[in-house]
């Protein structure tokens, strides 16, 4: 607040630290102040170094640092990772729509004899059903259309739909007892990604970006890859709400790479604009932005500055990332020919491996179409054909390149599917409705115990009978693999120490950890 | 002849001194003959008999401790009675009570064995031991009055001593039936084993899956009733031969057919089923153990196969715990300056300083060479991971790297090193991970890695040294 020279009404200088606003905002403000002075001293050109502070390991430290607490390279002085992490980075293969667990990995041999019988009331209980099946007069059991065989030294049963997954079954940590609170796509997918059914909370990737920061200044910390939809499948929408940074600064939001054409729109310079011109333009915008920052003090302006600089660096790093011409033949042998087509799941898995090599902290690959309410026998083989081999290729590729030791790969959807058929059950086709009470996920790599199956469901894959893993605990376990105590990665917002796992108690599932 | 006359003379003298009428001798002798005849009348033939026999028989373990306690009390009373005569009088009552309890105990024990169809050397020994014990007690009752009156000095003490020794031996046999023969020696310190001659069970071929995973399960869970010492249902499971021979109902293992193998059927019944094994509430098999047996039978139930498909018993080779690095607080200002500058960074592994630092070069990889690496020498003891992938590091960098005494992981993938000088890393006792994918190393230049103490994860993907499909080799 500037004082008018003729005004005798002495208004005190506005002191941000005295205002009744969240501590997080004050922290953000003091960071801005420090950064501003620092940038002010560094003259007109905002150097790489200063910008590195925004995206690389932050520059703002030194509060009470001593030998015990070096306060080094921990973003926002958060002191993370809390303990030595097993995994430095994670790749999340998200199967949007809800894969049917009993047709893939949750083998239920007893169902074959119960074809078209009603599911016992004692099993179904009185839990809520969706509007899609609540009106059905019967709930006939639909055994899986596909056979299962045992694979590997672990003798794990795997559906004939997943021949490639079967090959790596001894490396996987399979969790059959994951359960969630929501029965519909949007709340459930929000819940597993952000820990809350309502939009507005930061997602797992944003928490990681905020808490752990970047390992490579030239690429975003958190990248989202969408797979092109297949019109034969029932595609539920996914939106940027799922990779939103919520109340965290928007620089921690996921950066989406497009599934077709240019991975990032308008990244290439137009004709007649060279790097020099682009740099000058950015410097000018920079000055305007810093002026705004000085006047208004909105932390989001910082995020904007950072994103401009990131975009500038991505002009060279993204083309290099997506240039697959130097990939050896062994890559194509592994991922298959589909990996050459941008936007396919195989292509995205290959890109995820290239990002892991380049130390991108978190990559989330979305594959839609798992919402098999009807014609399951027709669509599930297509879905598995699209995803089975790439999943195997990604894990195998990371393994042979020595990246699986410190990369955590997660395969999960937002919920499971019902054992009873939705709509008509015929001898050779059926559909399955949403089922939040149990679903199957798998993990592999840094931090998790290979070759185990954790948790058990009943004979109908309907209820968990042993070692339930709630989604909150699943997320807490993922954070633990990355060196984070989920109770201590918090952000003060709306009067609550917000965290990914929410205010209810959540636990790390020790049985999954290596 | 002379010997016989002497014996009869001695016997006459003994009988006169004991002062029991000849007709009274009929009781103990008759009882002894009955006891000795019992096993021949009701032979333990390995078949189960009437269930009521087992109902009563199971009270045998309940009752047997009473006579034992009384018998052990006897010598105490007799010896203490030398000073306090009242105790001698009590001893007489205790002796008779012991006999009164020993006889039904023996009867119940016999019902248990005969009813359940138990056979085996230990069962037989236990039975004869109990017979002798009861006969000894009967004789003690008849001989004691003469000893108490001072007419017969030796007979009673001798008989009592024999009875006590018999009791000890018989009880041990009984314990072996219940707990298994190795029960007492199972946790014996290895130093004592040779002295007591307790050896470990012999096995088929020591590294076979049977010897490592199947035999130990049977030994722990089944052999107490189906072993050399006790054979229920005519089935022994203590050796491979006996296991495959089966029992009174035929074979229990059908190689290749787990679903037809009675061994598996009986252990997978619902736990309330009367045929469920292990019987009588003993510890059931775990699901892992059942899976091993099932997979082993499916694979042909061989005594020699090293591994069977469908089972992986995860052998834990825990990584050596990381050694904490020293205190680098003196260097903090420099490290911080580096964080803010352009170039390689030193990043802490975690909030705990003793976890060490990571050398991160991703942003400047192409310009990071041996000279830049050498500049990090002063931080060398605190660096636990060096991310040098795709940098300009060459073989010359090993001179610097060998000073990274706490290095656990070394990334060199995509560099132009050829592997000459890899041997210098021998100095790094903490190194568990090295990634040489996409470098110019070859089979010859990586031989140096074999000598490294803790190296577990070696990656040679896309190099001339790559030997097979998987590039990760476990050197352990």
**pLDDT on residue A44:** 42
Site of tokens 């004692």: A122
Q: How far is A159 from chain B (nearest CA, A)?
A: 16
Question: What's the CA gap between B118 and B48, in Å, rounded?
Answer: 8
DSSP states of B153-205: SSHHHHHHHHHHHHHHHHHHHHHHHHH-TTTTTTT--TTTHHHHT--PPP-SS
Q: pLDDT digits over A47-92, tens only? A: 545 554 555 443 333 333 333 333 343 454 578 899 999 999 999 9
Give Cβ neighbours of residue A324 (< 8 Å, ≥ 6 apart): A331, A340, A350
With 0-12 / 13-18 / 19 or more C-beta atoms within 10 angstroms meaning exposed / middle / buried, residue B259 is exposed
Residue B476's pLDDT band (boundaries 50, 70, 90)?
Answer: very low
DSSP states of A385-404: HHHHHHHHHHHHHHHHTT-G
Residue A4's pLDDT band (boundaries 50, 70, 90)?
Answer: low
Give B327's contacts in chain A (Cβ within 8 Å).
67
> Are the beta carbons of B349 and A217 separated by less than 8 Å?
no
Give Cβ neighbours of residue A392 (< 8 Å, ≥ 6 apart): A164, A165, A167, A168
Looking at chain B from residue 87 to 146, which residues have their Cβ under 8 Å from any Cβ of chain A? none
Q: pLDDT digits over A185-205, tens only? A: 999 999 999 999 999 999 999
> Helix A48-55 and helix A299-322: axis angle, to 10°?
90
> Are the beta carbons of B341 and A49 separated by less than 8 Å?
yes
Tell me if A32 sits within 8 A of A24, measured CB to CB. no
Does B475 touch chain A if contact means CB atoms closer than 8 Å? Answer: no
DSSP states of A74-85: -GGG---SSS--
Question: What average pLDDT does this structure show over B48-70?
Answer: 89
- Please give the C-alpha separations between residue B123 and each of B180, B242, B345, in angstroms, as whole numbers: 12, 18, 75
Instruction: Tell me which of A54, A85, A155, A314 to substitute to probe the interface with B (most B C-beta atoms closer than 10 Å).
Output: A155
Instruction: Tell me which of A401, A482, A514 to substitute to probe the interface with B (most B C-beta atoms closer than 10 Å).
Output: A401
- Please give the C-alpha separations between residue A52 and each of A80, A167, A168, B269, B339, in angstroms, as whole numbers: 18, 42, 39, 65, 9
> Are the beta carbons of A402 and B413 separated by less than 8 Å?
yes
Nearest to A399 among B310, B347, B472 (CB): B472
The answer to whether the bond into A457 is cis (omega within 30° of 0) is no
- Please give the C-alpha separations between residue B475 and each of A189, B348, B425, B449, in angstroms, as whole numbers: 43, 29, 16, 9
Site of tokens 């007591």: B196
Closest-CA residue to B404 (of B323, B461, B332, B473): B323
**pLDDT on residue A455:** 94
> Are the beta carbons of A82 and B314 separated by less than 8 Å?
no
> Are the beta carbons of B310 and A80 separated by less than 8 Å?
no
**pLDDT on residue A3:** 53
Give Cβ neighbours of residue B139 (< 8 Å, ≥ 6 apart): B28, B32, B159
The token duo for A110 is: 């007893």
Question: What average pLDDT does this structure show over B162-166?
Answer: 94
Question: What's the CA gap between A146 and A112, in Å, rounded?
Answer: 10
Residue A265 C-beta-side C-alpha neighbours within 13 Å: 4
Q: How far is A2 from chain B (nearest CA, A)?
A: 34
Q: pLDDT digits over B321-338, tens only? A: 888 888 888 888 888 777
Nearest to A216 among B295, B362, B435 (CB): B362
Give me the percent of chain B exceeding a pLDDT of 70.
89
Nearest to B363 among A217, A400, A406 (CB): A217
Q: pLDDT digits over A214-273, tens only? A: 999 899 999 999 999 999 999 999 999 999 999 999 989 999 988 777 777 788 888 888
Does B464 touch chain A if contact means CB atoms closer than 8 Å? Answer: no
> Are the beta carbons of B351 and A82 separated by less than 8 Å?
yes
Does A483 touch chain B if contact means CB atoms closer than 8 Å? Answer: yes
Q: Which of A38-42, B126-130, B190-194 has the weakest average pLDDT?
A: A38-42
Give A51's contacts in chain B (Cβ within 8 Å).
none
Question: What's the CA gap between A250 and A212, in Å, rounded?
Answer: 15
- What is the DSSP pairing of strand B457-459 with strand B472-473? antiparallel
> Are the beta carbons of A170 and B336 separated by less than 8 Å?
no
**pLDDT on residue A392:** 97
Which one-letter DSSP state was computed for residue A370?
Answer: B
Question: What's the CA gap between B376 and B295, in Å, rounded?
Answer: 54
Instruction: Tell me which of A59, A73, A167 to substitute to probe the interface with B (most B C-beta atoms closer than 10 Å).
Output: A73
Does A197 touch chain B if contact means CB atoms closer than 8 Å? Answer: no
**pLDDT on residue A465:** 94
Tell me if B61 sits within 8 A of B178, measured CB to CB. yes
- Please give the C-alpha separations between residue A26 and each of A289, A502, B95, B195, B368, in angstroms, as whole numbers: 20, 23, 91, 76, 39
Q: pLDDT digits over A404-459, tens only? A: 999 999 999 999 999 999 988 998 999 999 999 999 999 999 999 999 999 999 99
Is residue B112 over pLDDT 80? yes
Give Cβ neighbours of residue B156 (< 8 Å, ≥ 6 apart): B140, B143, B144, B146, B147
Percent of chain B that is helix, strand, coil (3-state, to 5) = 50, 5, 40
Q: How far is B322 from chain A (nearest CA, A)?
A: 10
Tell me if A76 sits within 8 A of A105, measured CB to CB. no
Question: What's the CA gap between A229 and A236, in Å, rounded?
Answer: 10
Q: How far is A498 from chain B (nearest CA, A)?
A: 21
Does A217 touch chain B if contact means CB atoms closer than 8 Å? Answer: yes
Rg, Å, chain A Cα set: 25
> Are the beta carbons of A153 and B311 separated by less than 8 Å?
yes
The token duo for A126 is: 């009185």
- Answer positive or negative: Cα dihedral of B246, B251, B256, B261: negative
**pLDDT on residue B289:** 85
Tell me if B467 sits within 8 A of B473, measured CB to CB. yes
Give Cβ neighbours of residue A180 (< 8 Å, ≥ 6 apart): A188, A191, A192, A414, A415, A436, A439, A470, A471
Is residue B315 over pLDDT 60? no
**pLDDT on residue A134:** 87
Q: pLDDT digits over A89-141, tens only? A: 999 999 999 999 999 999 999 999 999 999 999 999 888 888 888 888 899 99
**pLDDT on residue B66:** 93
> Are the beta carbons of B309 and A155 separated by less than 8 Å?
yes
Q: How far is B310 from chain A (nearest CA, A)?
A: 4
Write B311-314 long-range contacts (CB < 8 A, 24+): B311/A153, B311/A154, B311/A155, B311/B209, B311/B213, B312/A152, B312/A153, B312/A154, B312/A155, B312/A170, B312/A451, B313/B212, B313/B213, B314/A451
Give Cβ neighbours of residue B381 (< 8 Å, ≥ 6 apart): B325, B326, B403, B404, B405, B406
Closest-approach residue (CA) in chain A for B349? A84
The answer to whether the bond into A30 is cis (omega within 30° of 0) is no
Closest-CA residue to A489 (of A499, A502, A478, A503): A499
- Taking each continuous run of H as one helix and of E as one strand, the counts in chain A are 12, 17
> Are the beta carbons of A483 and B350 separated by less than 8 Å?
yes
Instruction: Tell me which of B340, B391, B414 to substitute to probe the interface with A (most A C-beta atoms closer than 10 Å).
Output: B340
Closest-CA residue to A428 (of A142, A57, A16, A196): A142
Does B441 touch chain A if contact means CB atoms closer than 8 Å? Answer: no
Is residue B387 over pLDDT 60? yes
Greater model confidence, B130 or A72? B130
The token duo for A112 is: 């074959």
Is residue B459 over pLDDT 80? yes
């Amino acid at each position: 607040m500037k004082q008018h020279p003729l005004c005798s009404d002495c208004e005190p200088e506005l002191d941000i630290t005295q205002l009744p606003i969240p501590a997080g905002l004050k922290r953000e403000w003091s960071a801005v102040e420090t950064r501003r002075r620092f940038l002010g001293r560094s003259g007109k050109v905002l150097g790489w170094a200063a910008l590195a502070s925004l995206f690389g390991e932050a520059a703002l430290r030194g509060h009470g640092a001593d030998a015990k607490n070096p306060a080094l390279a921990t973003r926002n002085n958060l002191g993370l990772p809390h303990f030595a992490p097993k995994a430095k980075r994670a790749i999340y293969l998200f199967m949007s729509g809800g894969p049917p667990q009993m047709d893939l990995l949750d083998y239920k041999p007893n169902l074959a004899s119960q074809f078209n019988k009603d599911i016992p009331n004692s099993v179904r209980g009185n839990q809520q059903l969706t509007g899609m099946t609540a009106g059905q007069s019967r709930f006939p059991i639909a055994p899986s259309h596909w056979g299962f065989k045992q694979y590997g030294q672990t003798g794990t049963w795997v559906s004939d739909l997943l021949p490639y997954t079967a090959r790596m079954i001894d490396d996987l940590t399979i969790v059959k007892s994951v359960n969630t609170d929501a029965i519909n796509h949007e709340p459930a997918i929000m819940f597993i990604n952000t820990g809350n059914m309502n939009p507005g909370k930061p997602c797992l990737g944003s928490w990681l970006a905020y808490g752990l920061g970047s390992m490579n200044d030239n690429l975003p910390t958190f990248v989202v890859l969408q797979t092109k939809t297949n019109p034969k499948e029932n595609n539920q929408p996914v939106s940027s709400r799922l990779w939103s940074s919520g109340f965290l600064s928007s620089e921690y939001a996921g950066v989406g790479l497009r599934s077709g054409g240019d991975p990032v729109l308008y990244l290439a310079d137009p004709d007649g604009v060279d790097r020099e011109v682009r740099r000058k333009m950015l410097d000018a915008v920079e000055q305007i932005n810093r002026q705004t920052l000085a006047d208004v003090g909105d932390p989001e302006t910082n995020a904007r500055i950072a994103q401009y600089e990131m975009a500038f660096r991505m002009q060279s790093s993204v083309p290099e990332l997506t240039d697959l011409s130097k990939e050896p033949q062994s890559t194509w042998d592994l991922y298959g020919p589909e990996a050459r087509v941008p936007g396919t799941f195989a292509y995205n898995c290959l890109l995820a491996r290239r990002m892991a090599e380049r130390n991108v902290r978190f990559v989330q690959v979305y594959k839609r179409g798992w919402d098999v309410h009807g014609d399951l026998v027709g669509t599930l083989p297509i879905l598995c054909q699209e995803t089975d081999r790439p999943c195997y290729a990604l894990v195998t590729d990371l393994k042979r390149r020595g990246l699986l030791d410190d990369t955590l790969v997660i395969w999960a959807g937002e919920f499971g599917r019902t054992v009873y058929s939705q709509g008509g059950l015929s001898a050779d086709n059926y559909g399955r409705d949403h089922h939040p009470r149990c679903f199957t996920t798998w993990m592999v790599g840094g931090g998790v115990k290979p070759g185990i199956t954790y948790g058990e469901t009943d004979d109908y894959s309907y209820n968990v009978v042993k070692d339930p893993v709630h989604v909150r605990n699943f997320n807490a376990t993922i954070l633990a693999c990355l060196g984070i105590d989920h109770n201590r990665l918090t952000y003060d917002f709306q009067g609550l120490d917000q965290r990914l796992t929410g205010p209810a108690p959540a636990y790390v599932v020790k049985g999954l950890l290596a | 002849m002379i010997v016989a006359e002497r014996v009869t003379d001695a016997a006459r003298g003994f009988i006169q001194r004991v002062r029991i009428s000849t007709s009274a001798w009929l009781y103990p002798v008759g009882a002894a003959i009955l006891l000795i005849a019992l096993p021949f009348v009701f032979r333990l033939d390995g078949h189960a008999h009437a269930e009521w026999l087992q109902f009563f028989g199971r009270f045998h373990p309940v009752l047997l401790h009473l006579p034992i306690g009384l018998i052990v009390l006897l010598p105490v009373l007799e010896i203490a009675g030398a000073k306090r005569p009242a105790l001698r009088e009590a001893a007489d009552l205790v002796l008779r009570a012991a006999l009164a309890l020993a006889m039904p105990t023996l009867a119940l024990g016999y019902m248990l064995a005969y009813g359940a169809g138990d056979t085996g050397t230990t069962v037989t020994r236990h039975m004869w031991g109990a017979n002798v014990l009861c006969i000894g007690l009967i004789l003690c009752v008849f001989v004691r009055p003469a000893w108490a009156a001072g007419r017969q000095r030796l007979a009673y003490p001798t008989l009592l001593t024999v009875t006590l020794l018999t009791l000890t031996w018989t009880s041990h046999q009984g314990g072996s039936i219940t707990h298994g023969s190795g029960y007492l020696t199972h946790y014996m310190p290895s130093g004592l084993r040779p002295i007591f001659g307790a050896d470990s069970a012999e096995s088929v071929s020591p590294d076979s899956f049977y010897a490592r995973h199947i035999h130990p399960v049977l030994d722990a869970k089944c052999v107490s009733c189906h072993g050399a010492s006790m054979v229920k249902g005519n089935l022994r499971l203590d050796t491979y031969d006996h296991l495959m021979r089966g029992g009174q109902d035929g074979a229990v293992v059908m190689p290749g057919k787990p679903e037809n193998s009675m061994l598996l059927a009986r252990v997978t019944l619902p736990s309330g089923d009367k045929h469920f094994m292990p019987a009588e509430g003993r510890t059931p098999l775990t699901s892992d153990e059942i899976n091993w047996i099932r997979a082993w039978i499916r694979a042909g139930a061989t005594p020699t196969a090293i591994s069977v498909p469908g089972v992986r018993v995860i052998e834990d080779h825990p990584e050596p715990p990381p050694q904490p690095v020293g205190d680098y607080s003196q260097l903090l200002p420099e490290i911080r300056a580096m964080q803010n500058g352009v170039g390689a960074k030193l990043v802490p592994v975690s909030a705990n300083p003793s976890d060490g630092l990571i050398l991160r070069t991703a942003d400047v990889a192409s310009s990071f060479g041996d000279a830049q690496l050498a500049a990090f020498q002063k931080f060398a003891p605190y660096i636990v991971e060096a991310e040098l992938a795709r940098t300009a590091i060459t073989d010359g960098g090993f001179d610097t790297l060998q000073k990274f005494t706490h290095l656990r992981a070394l990334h060199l993938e995509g560099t132009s090193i050829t592997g000459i000088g890899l041997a210098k890393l021998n100095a790094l006792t903490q190194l568990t991970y090295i990634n040489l994918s996409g470098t110019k190393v070859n089979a010859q230049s990586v031989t140096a890695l074999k000598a490294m103490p803790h190296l577990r994860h070696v990656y040679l993907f896309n190099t001339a040294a790559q030997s097979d499909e998987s590039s990760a080799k476990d050197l352990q």
